[in-house]
A and B are shown apart, each in its own frame.
Chain A
Amino acid sequence: MSKQSQHGKRRQSSEVDTSLLPRDAQTGEAIMPSEQPGYYPGYSTLSQQAFWDKTTRDLVNDRVQNVPRIRYFSPESVRFWRAVFDHILPQTDRIADRRIPIIERVDERLFHKRGVGYRYEKMPPDREAYQLAEIAINEESQARYSGKFVDLPSLQQDLVLKAIHDGKPLAAEPIWKRMSIGRFWLLLLQDAIEAYYSHPWAWDEIGFGGPAYPRAYTRLERGEPEPWEVEEQRYQWEAPRYAVSDITESTHHLHTESRQNEFIPDESQ
């Protein structure tokens, strides 16, 4: 297998805009990009691959080594969606060669017209959904900040996407009438999550054990690590200054699939 990078090593780079980096919660200083953010320094699922079955090993290595080439999106759309995914799952805390490809995985899915087994009746097919959303998000950028999305400063891009997230767009009303804004947001997030959290570098980041056949997990209780897993080492961090996405809600009133979800209007009308 390929050479494993050293973990946790911080790298300085003169090209990094520190306003886009997460900060140390105590000092307020930017945390420089690293090979492996997260609370499990030194943990590597890939280092355990000799203990995986061959089919799994081949699949995961292929995912790491062979990033699919773009075959569906136009160059302009690639630039647009790459900029969007940089906000949906930002990776400025990762050094450049340890960033996880997202747009390429979405492109592959749309190229093959691979669905997930259903489509909401108030949603267009996925390719059309992405086309419509690109127009709508650009119109939103235009309405709020008089520019195309890709040309806006990072904070304004974040604010445009927050308007979509909140279901409160100012522009593109005809498009959002045709396509549920809440369901589009879920589609976008699901695609991003499927790409990012299927990658072993993300497993390392969150301390997920990964494949365990045929070796087995043996320490099932009290959250204790296997001998080859590592203990958590938490640190406190804050989102970059120019980001508005570090807000979550802790509520039990939200529903994804039901009219009880206040963000997804009753579709029976």
Chain B
Amino acid sequence: MKTPLLGSFESSGNGHHTLGPLQHIDLPMRRYRDTDEVDYVIVGCGSAGGVLLQRLSRAGFRVVALEAGPFWNTERDWVSDESGSHKLYWEDLRITGGTDPLAFGANNSGKGVGGGSVHWAAFTPRFHPSDFEVYTRDGLGADWPITYETLRPYYEQLELEMPVAGPAYFPWGHPHGYPYGPHPMGGVGNVLIKGCSSLGIPVSIGGPVAILSGSRANRPHCIYRGYCIQGCKVGAKASTLITHVPDAIANGGEVREYSMAYRIQLGKEGRVTGVHYFDRDGAAWFQRAKAVIVSGYAIETPRLLLNSACPGHEKGLANSSDTVGRYLMAQAGNVVLGRFDQPVRMYKAPPAHALTEEFYETDPRNDFVRGFAIQTVGPLPIAFGKQMVSAKRAWGWGLRREMMDYNHWASLGLLGEILPWPDNRVTLSEERDQFGIRVPHISFSLHDNDHKLIKAAKNKTMEVMHAAGATEVIQEARYAHLVGAARMGNDPRTSVVDKFGRTHDVANLFLCDGSILPTQGSANPGLTIQALAARTADYLIAQGDTIFKNDKRDMTEPAMRQDLAPPDTWGHGVPRVK
């Protein structure tokens, strides 16, 4: 068949704002005037911001989310193409240094409504109970001001809201099951299963991944096209753009696209009064608000606080602890590539569809604390080519030759826990971006425990690749995800926010995103970020007007508001194993 029976496929939507082929937003959405004083301004409409906007709007608050990037119309804006997807990534200038400088952009930073959840691979393992007490257990890193049990109901809730596909029994950390069935295996998943099984290592097959294995409401099932991190046109992969933002807008929330926040305004009483931002033409605006939530992720959140320095907050807003920007973390994300005699065609299936967490916990036999996971990854040709340059030093005819073998390679990614260190840090560079805002400088260096952990993780992943039958095994050092840089804690001298995300220094200023994580485990952080956002939302809703009126800090845990979840999520699908 040369063409579809009814002619070439055209885009659906008919002029609507489409989110996947079936879901529409019927604009116009509510638009506040800049003279209006809204209840909450959220800076950044990504993983956390999207959930916060949805919950707070549904609870009846007047909320605006300022988003630096566009409000995607997925049928119009997104493509099945690596090179055509750069607009999904935060590609504004950042300066990267330290002994082990991090890559940003496509590697870990999203832009546009949905933020990182648009380009994530949607792997959604939970953190383990041990992650919340790393310092107590191992004497390194930090403890969280909350426990796994505090977050557990929110994990269960968000796994339904996304929802997550995966095995009925997930054996690591706190064992549990997933509401949607596991995905079928692609070539790389089979490599992981074969390698792990022959070494006696348990493996989780077909998830956990927030990609629909069956259709649900106005979202189709996965079609295994492989372009997950280029944005899921199918609408099968969860992003807050399609899971939470539509419900937020239906409930009166506003998403203001192309709005780049550059300064939070502090008022006379030591409380914030709103956020200054630039629109896409570079015009400056000010949105007044009774309270502000910053959800800009681990680089932009500290950058905004540092750029908001003002009298009384000379080191940066909410930075009396000198902790803003510090304890930045990325996970070791070394990619191990194996060549097989038989074709693999790793571009089919989601990059993320199988993993093992067998090496996640501290093992006293190791010369390091904490651990790592091994996951499938499926680079498309451009990403794969860059790996061949790094891992094999290929160029010229050698590069052409390696690329002709693309279909014979499989790749596994390790995810290793790098501990929080004060010198891994976001500061401000003297350089300025296109708006004239000072750009962030990031310094990142591995420490002794990190080096030892990466070495062990690398060796184990290569062992798995060999055990799967690879005839050649190579690897590339890289880093995945970004968290920390404005961590939560009980002590205002060593942390930026309290256990609900409220800054210790300013009573109506909250941070809610990956930047507040004290440690990161070796689980992908997206689910935890959204679970924390739902919990912070419950706290804000329970506090009602108190936050707008006085500085009183109520540290009572809020009741969980399952009734505020997007429609048709709560009560559908059941976590099968407790």
Contact surface of A with B, Cβ cutoff 8 Å? 22, 37-39, 47, 49-57, 59-60, 63, 87-90, 114-122, 158, 161, 165, 186, 189-190, 193-194, 196-198, 202-203, 205-225, 232, 239-240, 243-252, 254-261, 263, 266-268
Known: A117-B109, A198-B84, A211-B80. 14 other contacts (CB 8 A): A37-B404, A51-B3, A51-B8, A53-B9, A53-B11, A88-B396, A116-B86, A117-B105, A117-B107, A214-B21, A239-B398, A243-B396, A252-B458, A257-B477
Q: A165-B393, A219-B348 are in contact. Are A52 and B398 (CB under 8 A)?
A: no
Which positions 375-415 of chain B face chain A at CB distance < 8 Å?
Answer: 380-382, 385-386, 388-404, 406-408
Give the most central of B102, B107, B234, B403: most A CB within 10 Å: B403
Closest 3 CB pairs of A and B: A245-B396, A117-B105, A223-B343
Contact surface of B with A, Cβ cutoff 8 Å? 2-4, 7-11, 21, 75-84, 86, 89-107, 109, 184-187, 190, 223-227, 233-234, 336, 342-345, 347-349, 380-382, 385-386, 388-404, 406-408, 441, 445-446, 458, 462, 472-479
A40 CB, min distance to chain B CBs, angstroms: 9
- Pick 10 A–B contacts, CB within 8 A, sort by A: A50-B4, A53-B11, A53-B79, A114-B86, A120-B97, A203-B381, A212-B224, A217-B348, A220-B349, A263-B393
Bound-state Cα–Cα, A244 to B7, Å: 49
Q: In the complex, which residue of chain B has the Cβ closest to the Cβ of A263? A: B393
A60 CB, min distance to chain B CBs, angstroms: 7
Bound-state Cα–Cα, A88 to B402, Å: 14
Q: Which B residues lie within 8 Å of A59 (CB)?
A: 79, 81, 84
Bound-state Cα–Cα, A210 to B234, Å: 15
- The answer to whether B185 touches A220, judged by C-beta atoms less than 8 angstroms apart, is yes
- The answer to whether A207 touches B397, judged by C-beta atoms less than 8 angstroms apart, is no
Cβ-neighbour of B97 out of A54, A60, A121, A218 (below 8 A):
A121
- The answer to whether B398 touches A245, judged by C-beta atoms less than 8 angstroms apart, is yes
Q: In the complex, which residue of chain B has the Cβ closest to the Cβ of A226? A: B348
- The answer to whether B233 touches A118, judged by C-beta atoms less than 8 angstroms apart, is no
Query: How many residue pairs bridge A and B at CB < 8 Å?
Result: 293
Q: A116-B106, A250-B392, A252-B474 are in contact. Are A232 and B343 (CB under 8 A)?
A: yes
Bound-state Cα–Cα, A9 to B441, Å: 53
Q: Which A residues lie within 8 Å of B393 (CB)?
A: 165, 248-249, 254, 263
Give the most central of B2, B190, B402, B477: most A CB within 10 Å: B477
- The answer to whether A114 touches B395, judged by C-beta atoms less than 8 angstroms apart, is no
Bound-state Cα–Cα, A250 to B394, Å: 10
Bound-state Cα–Cα, A117 to B111, Å: 11
Bound-state Cα–Cα, A118 to B480, Å: 15
Cβ-neighbour of B473 out of A50, A249, A252, A256 (below 8 A):
A252
B327 CB, min distance to chain A CBs, angstroms: 19
- The answer to whether A118 touches B96, judged by C-beta atoms less than 8 angstroms apart, is yes
Bound-state Cα–Cα, A186 to B226, Å: 26
Q: Which B residues lie within 8 Å of A89 (CB)?
A: 396, 399-400
- The answer to whether B474 touches A118, judged by C-beta atoms less than 8 angstroms apart, is no
B131 CB, min distance to chain A CBs, angstroms: 25
- The answer to whether A119 touches B91, judged by C-beta atoms less than 8 angstroms apart, is no
- The answer to whether A115 touches B81, judged by C-beta atoms less than 8 angstroms apart, is no
- The answer to whether B380 touches A118, judged by C-beta atoms less than 8 angstroms apart, is no
Q: Which A residues lie within 8 Å of B80 (CB)?
A: 52-53, 56, 210-213
B19 CB, min distance to chain A CBs, angstroms: 14
Q: A194-B382, A211-B81 are in contact. Are A243 and B233 (CB under 8 A)?
A: no
Bound-state Cα–Cα, A114 to B91, Å: 8
Bound-state Cα–Cα, A60 to B388, Å: 24
Q: Which B residues lie within 8 Å of A224 (CB)?
A: 343, 345
Cβ-neighbour of A190 out of B380, B389, B401 (below 8 A):
B389
- The answer to whether B392 touches A218, judged by C-beta atoms less than 8 angstroms apart, is no
- The answer to whether B8 touches A206, judged by C-beta atoms less than 8 angstroms apart, is no
A47 CB, min distance to chain B CBs, angstroms: 7
Q: Which A residues lie within 8 Å of B226 (CB)?
A: 209, 212, 217
- The answer to whether A90 touches B400, judged by C-beta atoms less than 8 angstroms apart, is yes
Q: In the complex, which residue of chain B has the Cβ closest to the Cβ of A202? A: B381
Q: In the complex, which residue of chain A has the Cβ closest to the Cβ of B111? A: A117
Cβ-neighbour of B99 out of A90, A206, A212, A267 (below 8 A):
A267
- The answer to whether A216 touches B224, judged by C-beta atoms less than 8 angstroms apart, is yes
B210 CB, min distance to chain A CBs, angstroms: 18
- The answer to whether A268 touches B99, judged by C-beta atoms less than 8 angstroms apart, is yes
Q: A89-B396, A121-B96, A257-B102 are in contact. Are A54 and B9 (CB under 8 A)?
A: yes
- The answer to whether A120 touches B101, judged by C-beta atoms less than 8 angstroms apart, is yes
- The answer to whether B401 touches A246, judged by C-beta atoms less than 8 angstroms apart, is yes
Bound-state Cα–Cα, A115 to B434, Å: 12
Cβ-neighbour of A213 out of B107, B233, B399 (below 8 A):
B233
Bound-state Cα–Cα, A259 to B447, Å: 12
- The answer to whether B224 touches A220, judged by C-beta atoms less than 8 angstroms apart, is yes
- The answer to whether A197 touches B96, judged by C-beta atoms less than 8 angstroms apart, is no
- The answer to whether B398 touches A198, judged by C-beta atoms less than 8 angstroms apart, is no
Q: Which B residues lie within 8 Å of A190 (CB)?
A: 386, 389
B159 CB, min distance to chain A CBs, angstroms: 24
B512 CB, min distance to chain A CBs, angstroms: 23
Q: Which B residues lie within 8 Å of A51 (CB)?
A: 3-4, 8-9
- The answer to whether A254 touches B3, judged by C-beta atoms less than 8 angstroms apart, is no
Q: In the complex, which residue of chain A has the Cβ closest to the Cβ of B440? A: A118
Bound-state Cα–Cα, A90 to B401, Å: 11
Q: Which A residues lie within 8 Å of B7 (CB)?
A: 50
A70 CB, min distance to chain B CBs, angstroms: 19
Q: A214-B234, A223-B342 are in contact. Are A193 and B474 (CB under 8 A)?
A: no
